[in-house]
Amino acid sequence: MKTARDFMLEIPVLTYHDGITKARQILRDDRYREVYVTGVKKDLLGYIDITDALRVTATKSNVTVEGFVKEAASAGPDTSIESVAQSMRKFSTDSAVIVDPCRHILGGVLLSDLFPVIISRNELSGRVSTRMSTKIATADPNDTLQQIHAKIVESGFTAFPVIRKKRIVGFISRRDLIRSGGVRSSLAQNSTKTVGEMMTKEVISVHGGASLSEAARLMVENDISRLPVIEGESIVGIVDRHDILAGLA
């Protein structure tokens, strides 16, 4: 039985008085969507995520991460990977931190690493339509960088399907914004850069009647964390890794 120890990675860790700009530098890396934060005794305080890093747009800032810390998904090194994934689902994160009994950080595990193993050794029951989220916030290709930045910070959504004439033509995510080195200067200068220029244009989708196993296969084969659910030419929902894992038998 594989445990968290088998997937544990060395992860970047911040102290509570580190600046938000340092967090933003770490979160540009494709592997990290959360960064964990320690306190005075080097014990786990919690985490901050990409949305938190986007809240402060200044290139240089004295704002520290302390005011953004949220409770984190954590586990011991011998915890089963299914239990670790369940903890991630509870906190809506894509990673979990592995701690010792004193809550000192030993490392971290990523949902993207656990997901293929969990679905390969567990039965998934149900259809995409039974697990997908129907609460969808969308973007328009002509939305400005300022508009999509505001949507991400205000709504809490991590990604938006981009719709043109009722058809999905791309995806824009927090990752796309923070990975763009010029996002802060663009915001400050009231840039005319649009969603259509920054979005991911290749869209892998699934039908609501597809099995959760089929949706999971598409995610693993394409190394993506979510799929738009399409009926006809219209988007009717979003299904992500957490939704898939909710269908474990």
Q: How far is CA 102 from CA 15, 46, 48, 75, 220, in A?
A: 17, 14, 21, 12, 35
Cβ burial, residue 206 (10 Å; 0-12/13-18/19+): buried
CB 174 within 8 A of CB 182: no
pLDDT greater at residue 158 or residue 121: 121
- How far apart, in whole angstroms, are the C-alpha atoms of residue 202 and residue 222? 11
Q: Above 70 in pLDDT, residue 191?
A: no
Q: Give pLDDT, residue 164.
A: 92
CATH code that applies to domain 4-121: 3.10.580.10
Report pLDDT digits (tens) over 87-108: 999 999 999 999 999 999 999 9
What pLDDT score was predicted for residue 177? 77
For the segment 193-211, the average pLDDT, to the nearest whole number, is 92
Q: What is the DSSP string of the chain?
A: --BGGGG-B---EEETTSBHHHHHHHHTSTT-SEEEEE-TTSBEEEEEEHHHHHH---SS---BGGGG-B---EE-TTSBHHHHHHHHHHHT-SEEEEE-TT-BEEEEEEHHHHHHHHHHHS-B-SBHHHH-B-----B-TT-BHHHHHHHHHHH--SEEEEEETTEEEEEEEHHHHHH-TTHHHHHHTT---BHHHHSB-----B-TTSBHHHHHHHHHHHT-SEEEEEETTEEEEEEEHHHHHTTB-
Average pLDDT, the chain: 89
The more confidently predicted of residues 2 and 174 is 2
Q: How far apart are CA 215 and CA 226, in angstroms?
A: 9
Angle between helices 212-222 and 111-121 (to 10 degrees): 140
Indicate whether 185 pLDDT > 60.
Answer: no
User: Which of 4-8, 132-136, 186-190, 225-229 shows the lowest per-residue confidence on average (mean pLDDT)?
Assistant: 186-190
Which amino acid is it at 18?
A: D
Lowest-confidence region among 19-33, 119-133, 200-214: 19-33
Per the CB < 8 A criterion, the answer to whether 91 and 46 are in contact is no
Report the distance separating Cα 141 and Cα 239, nearest Å.
Answer: 22
So what's the pLDDT on residue 115?
97
> What tens digit of pLDDT does each residue of 127-182 get?
999 999 999 889 999 998 888 888 888 887 888 999 998 899 999 988 777 766 55
Domain ranges across the chain = 4-121, 128-245
Q: Residue 52 above 90 pLDDT?
A: no
Identify the pLDDT of residue 30.
Answer: 64
- Per-residue model confidence (pLDDT) at position 233: 82
Confidence of residue 57 (pLDDT cuts 50, 70, 90): low
Topology of domain 128-245 in CATH is: CBS-domain (3.10.580)
Contact 29, 6 (CB under 8 A): no
Check residue 190 and give its pLDDT. Answer: 61
pLDDT at residue 213 above 60? Answer: yes
Q: What is the pLDDT of residue 58?
A: 62
Res 88: pLDDT: 95
Q: Is the pLDDT of residue 77 over 70?
A: yes
Question: What pLDDT shows up at residue 152?
Answer: 82
Question: Does the pLDDT of residue 56 top 90, yes or no?
Answer: no
Closest CA to 36 of 18, 55, 58, 21: 18
